[in-house]
Amino acid sequence: VERNVLLSGNMQKSAELFAKACKVIPGGVTAHIKYFDPHPIMMEKGNGSKLYDVDGNEYIDYLLCYGALILGHGHRQVFEAVTKQMVESGTTIFGTPHKLETTMAEKLIELYPGIEMVRYTNSGLEATLLAIRTAVAYTGKQKIAKFEGHYHGGYDQVLVSVNPDIDKAGESSAPKAVGESRGLPDYYLENTIVLPFNDLTATEKILRDHAHELAGVILEPIQGGFIPADQDFMTGLRKVTEELNIVLIFDEVKTGFRLSIGGAQEVYGVKPDITALGKVLGGGFPVGAIGGKKEILMISSARGGRDILTVGASNSGKQAPLYHSGTYNGHPTILAAGLATIHVLEQMGTMDTLFANTQLLRKQLEEVYKFHGLPMQTIGMGSIFNIILSEGEVKNYRDMRKVNTNLRKQIDYELLRLGIYTKPLNRYSMSVVHTKEDIERTAAAHDEAIKRVKNK
């Protein structure tokens, strides 16, 4: 254990607990994303903008559970809504319809220009999966197109060209489909077409070539939460998909409630056919949802259809609807947490302050790096951004691959020692409870981290 202690001395318990986890959990983590060398830090509790690890170290948290915790840790209003729901309902889940499902659906329809009807899932992954199945069912076509470098959850069809080796990925204007996991059936590689983000000419050409077999195009309007689509690209993509009868799916799992309360579709003024939501929607609990055009979503209506899980003669002869189910879908406690979160975000000035604080942090960090003579830019929109230690333009996956991450990594490890938390090389998410003092402390920590790296 000693040799592997990340941050000399004050990370001893983390190292020990991680070594113990490795004996019973492959690689010691329950999601790949949680790992970093030599071992991740074991967290024990969160409060507001802060995280505390098992060794008692305090961190200002910019991971915020990959953006989910827009109100920070343990927000009072979320806590109260969850408690009230549990006390009043006498249980946590019914396995029946209940009124919060409708209340939340009405809220999403009010906030998201592209949403006319809603279905719930338990994660962002399930939401994009359902969105894709819906596109396939609606169009009767088989293939799906996604953009290189875009993440939509950890399942077969979209574990393609998320972070591929460039030498295997072909021309930037016609990227090849590269599998990202062992165990992916060939079917998915063959049926997933990869597109170059922010390159409308090349994207349009590929879409036209495959229009006869393409059910849908899925994208993160802001790649990785921090590389924005160009306005012309978004407008053009909407136009061409409409013309070619290809369902346009916005994966707003990250941008939803964060880019603006009505997501990227509100900011860009572009209506997708289907929207996938997650993260903030659950107020810190596992959730997902799809919303979209009534005409499209209605194909999952069970009314009058055949039920595959109820055995009985009355089923015979009826057509199966698009199948969608899940024991915990529309979990009342989670919807109560989500509604409380949205309620806070809707209060006058909350989003404006969140954006202003994000801008302030970006500006202060840019000044620190400038002072040290290091090339640096922050990129992002809304309440998420990333730190890029180069001055070149970053518009897509290939541009990101050119960024030198070595220096950033060294600085990030120093930042962990100085009490600033995000996973090394990860983006920064802000919450409504991060204060000006947190921002000052973060800028000062970057200054110190750079000095330490320079003096090595």
Q: Given the rule CB under 6 A, which residues bind ligand PMP? A: 66, 123-125, 128, 151-153, 220, 251, 253-254, 278
**Orientation angle between helical segments 436-454 and 406-417, nearest 10 degrees:** 120
- Least CB distance from residue 153 to ligand PMP, whole Å? 4
- Least CB distance from residue 390 to ligand PMP, whole Å? 24
- Least CB distance from residue 123 to ligand PMP, whole Å? 4
CA angle 342, 72, 255 (to 5 degrees): 55
Closer to ligand PMP by Cβ: residue 131 or 137 = 131
Contact 432, 354 (CB under 8 A): yes
- Least CB distance from residue 448 to ligand PMP, whole Å? 30
Residue type, 263: G
- Least CB distance from residue 257 to ligand PMP, whole Å? 13
Residues near 23 by Cβ (< 8 Å), separated by ≥ 6? none
Q: How far apart are CA 444 and CA 368, in angstroms?
A: 8
112 is catalytic: no
- H/E run at residue 289: strand 288-292
Q: Which residue is nearest to ligand PMP (CB)?
A: 124
- Least CB distance from residue 254 to ligand PMP, whole Å? 4
> 3-class DSSP state for residue 441?
helix
Contact 181, 208 (CB under 8 A): no
Residues near 34 by Cβ (< 8 Å), separated by ≥ 6? 40, 423
107 is catalytic: no
| Overall size of the chain counted in residues | 456
Q: How far apart are CA 48 and CA 432, in angstroms?
A: 9
> 3-class DSSP state for residue 276?
strand
- Least CB distance from residue 9 to ligand PMP, whole Å? 33
Residue carrying the six token digits 């013309």: 243
> Per the residue annotation, which of 279, 397, 413, 428 is the catalytic one?
279
> Per the residue annotation, which of 53, 55, 199, 251 is the catalytic one?
251
Contact 148, 177 (CB under 8 A): no
CA angle 111, 146, 429 (to 5 degrees): 50
- Least CB distance from residue 87 to ligand PMP, whole Å? 27
Residues near 409 by Cβ (< 8 Å), separated by ≥ 6? 424, 425
Q: How far apart are CA 38 and CA 284, in angstroms?
A: 28
Contact 196, 147 (CB under 8 A): yes
Question: How far, rounded to the nearest angstrom, does the alpha carbon of residue 319 sit from its chain's CA centroid?
Answer: 35
Q: How far apart are CA 340 and CA 334, in angstroms?
A: 10
Q: How far apart are CA 29 and CA 260, in angstroms?
A: 32
- Least CB distance from residue 150 to ligand PMP, whole Å? 7
Residue type, 12: Q
Closer to ligand PMP by Cβ: residue 129 or 449 = 129
| Sheet strands (E) in 148-287 | 192-195, 214-219, 222-223, 227-228, 247-251, 274-277
Closer to ligand PMP by Cβ: residue 258 or 446 = 258
Contact 362, 446 (CB under 8 A): no
50 is catalytic: no
Closer to ligand PMP by Cβ: residue 131 or 136 = 131
Residue carrying the six token digits 């972070």: 163
Catalytic residues: 151, 251, 279
